[in-house]
Amino acid sequence: MKALQWKIHVVDDPRYREHRAPARHPERPERLLAVGEALAEFAPQICPVEARGATDEEILRVHGRDHLRRIAEVVGQAPAHLDPDTFVSAESFDVARLAAGAVIDLARLVARGEARTGFAAVRPPGHHAEADRAMGFCLFNNVAIAARALQAEDGVGKILILDWDVHHGNGTQHFFEADPSVLYVSTHQFPYYPGTGDFGEAGRDRGEGTTVNVPLPAGCGDAEYVGSFQRIVVPAVRAFEPEMILVSCGFDAHRDDPMASMEVSGEGFTAMTRIVGSLADELCGGRLAFVLEGGYSASGLREGTRAVLQTLLEDAPLPPAPIDAPAGSLLRAVVDRVAAVHRQRIPEIGAA
Ligand SMILES: [Zn+2]
């Protein structure tokens, strides 16, 4: 198959910069220039994927018709706000469709084995968007829309959505919290915006246990993130056995980020990507796609994107050595609290 000569398929379209931000808003088009600088370093190894707009039918699998109508209405009065954080410019409706549509197409190429891995550098981000409202800079929930498209049209059953954006993906959690076919795992600063994502939020009804939250206090860095991946994410994902992995990939846990208070470095993102990459190889034939969410410093976006791309280009990513979690450490405290919620279903949680 010709496409497989490429190791990574990338969505990176200048139209994503046309979702214009009010002055001094952190979710601004320049974010994608920083991502683009990192992508340019890998240009010879990248196969570009063209962006196309998601259809109403695709969006309506997760959002209500009123949500579509409201965005169209507010965009008609642009520049305007949907909530105090979430703005639209005249182009935003079309750009948001392009984000959701491109994420579907990229995920589909990977799911069908026509691409090995993918990275979507899209705006606006998606993981805060709820069924019936825009929120936290997000208009449509790109990852949720893609997951539902894969299930509806590509025969994909079980999907992991791993959300390492520094904020909790309230929208994504809510879409899938009663659905055992999607495992939602999130590492995030807590307490912090949007306020959801506490330890005990573990899914409901038939989806009980397929939501795993790893709330981390401000100030966590590589050790806490990588250690949480090893002791919580890895056993949870192995127990679930996904057929495809989507990463809600924010770079706002980076130490340079002006919005959050985490200390993750480029090396940290490399280690996290290696863990995810080796899980994908082990469990789902390497089917893995990254979708940009937040990230508000140019250096964090550049270093994070570089870390992900570099790792995806490795032949067999070697997972990092186990991080110690001695009694009394912050990592141990977090791991123990997550284990207390999930140990019945996933007894391996907590071990390195
Ligand atoms: Zn974020």
Phi, psi of 216 (to 5 degrees): -120, 135
Distance 124 CA to ligand 1 centre (A): 12
d(CA 163, CA 84): 24
Is residue 206 exposed (0-12), middle (13-18) or buried (19+ Cβ within 10 Å)? exposed
How far is the centre of ligand 1, averaged over its atoms, from the C-alpha of 111 (Å)? 26
Q: How far is the CA of 41 from the centre of ligand 1 (A)?
A: 25
Q: Tell me the per-residue pLDDT of 189-228, one tens digit each, with 9 for 90 and over.
A: 999 999 999 999 999 999 999 999 999 999 999 999 999 9
- Interval between CA 294 and ligand 1 midpoint (Å): 4
Cα(195) to centroid(ligand 1), Å: 12
Interior/surface letters 160-189, b for 16+ CB within 10 angstroms, e for the rest:
bbbbbbbbbbbbbbbbbbebebbbbbbbbb
* 118 membership: H or E segment, kind and range: strand 117-120
Dist. CA 251 → ligand 1 center (Å): 7
Q: Which of 84, 16, 57, 222 is nearest to 145 (CA)?
A: 57
Nearest C-alpha neighbor of 184 from the set 42, 342, 300, 310: 342
Q: How far apart are CA 46 and CA 115, in angstroms?
A: 11
**Averaged over 282-309, what is the pLDDT?**
98
Q: Judging by beta carbons within 10 Å of its beta carbon (0-12, 13-18, 19+), is residue 71 exposed, middle or buried?
A: buried
What pLDDT, on a 0 to 100 scale, did the predictor assign at position 203? 98
Residue type, 306: R
3-class secondary structure per residue, 39-73 = HHCCHHHEEECCCCCCCHHHHCCCCCHHHHHHHHH
pLDDT number for residue 34: 98
Q: Is the pLDDT of residue 1 over 90?
A: no
- Read off the tokens for 311: 């790792």
Tell me the per-residue pLDDT of 330-349, one tens digit each, with 9 for 90 and over: 999 999 999 999 999 999 99
Distance 171 CA to ligand 1 centre (A): 12
Which residues on adjacent β-strands are paired with residue 176? none
Q: How far is the CA of 166 from the centre of ligand 1 (A)?
A: 5
pLDDT band at residue 318 using 50, 70 and 90 as cut-offs: confident
- Extract the runs of DSSP E, i.e. beta strands, from 145-261: 159-163, 182-189, 211-216, 244-249
User: Averaged over 159-173, what is the pLDDT?
Assistant: 99
Q: Using DSSP bridges, classify how beta strands 117-120 and 8-11 pair: parallel, antiparallel or unpaired.
A: parallel
Query: Which residues hold their Cβ within 5 A of ligand 1, which is an ion?
Result: 165, 167, 250, 252, 294
Quote the ligand 1 centre to 114 CA distance (angstroms).
30
What's the half-sphere exposure (Cβ side, CA atoms, 13 Å) at 191? 1
242 cis-preceded (ω within 30 degrees of 0): no
**Distance from Cα 185 to the centre of ligand 1, integer Å:** 15
Q: Is residue 4 predicted with pLDDT exceeding 80?
A: no
What pLDDT does residue 7 have? 85
Give the model's pLDDT for residue 158.
Answer: 98
How confident is the model over 124-160, as pLDDT tens digits? Answer: 999 999 999 999 999 999 999 999 999 999 999 999 9
Q: Cis peptide before 191, with omega less than 30 degrees from 0?
A: yes
pLDDT value of position 2: 52
Phi, psi of 21 (to 5 degrees): -100, 150
Q: For the chain, give the mean pLDDT.
A: 96
Q: What is the pLDDT of residues 77-131, one digit of tens each?
A: 999 999 999 999 999 999 999 999 999 999 999 999 999 999 999 999 999 999 9
Domain boundaries, the chain: 2-342
Q: Which residues are catalytic?
A: 128
Architecture in CATH of 2-342: 3-Layer(aba) Sandwich (3.40)
Task: Give the list of residues 6+ apart from residue 58 with CB closer than 8 angstroms, or none.
Answer: 100, 101, 104, 145, 148, 149
Q: What is the DSSP letter of 163?
A: E
Q: Cα(297) to centroid of ligand 1, in Å?
A: 12
Span 51-76, pLDDT tens digits: 999 999 999 999 999 999 999 999 99
Rg for the chain, CA atoms, rounded = 18
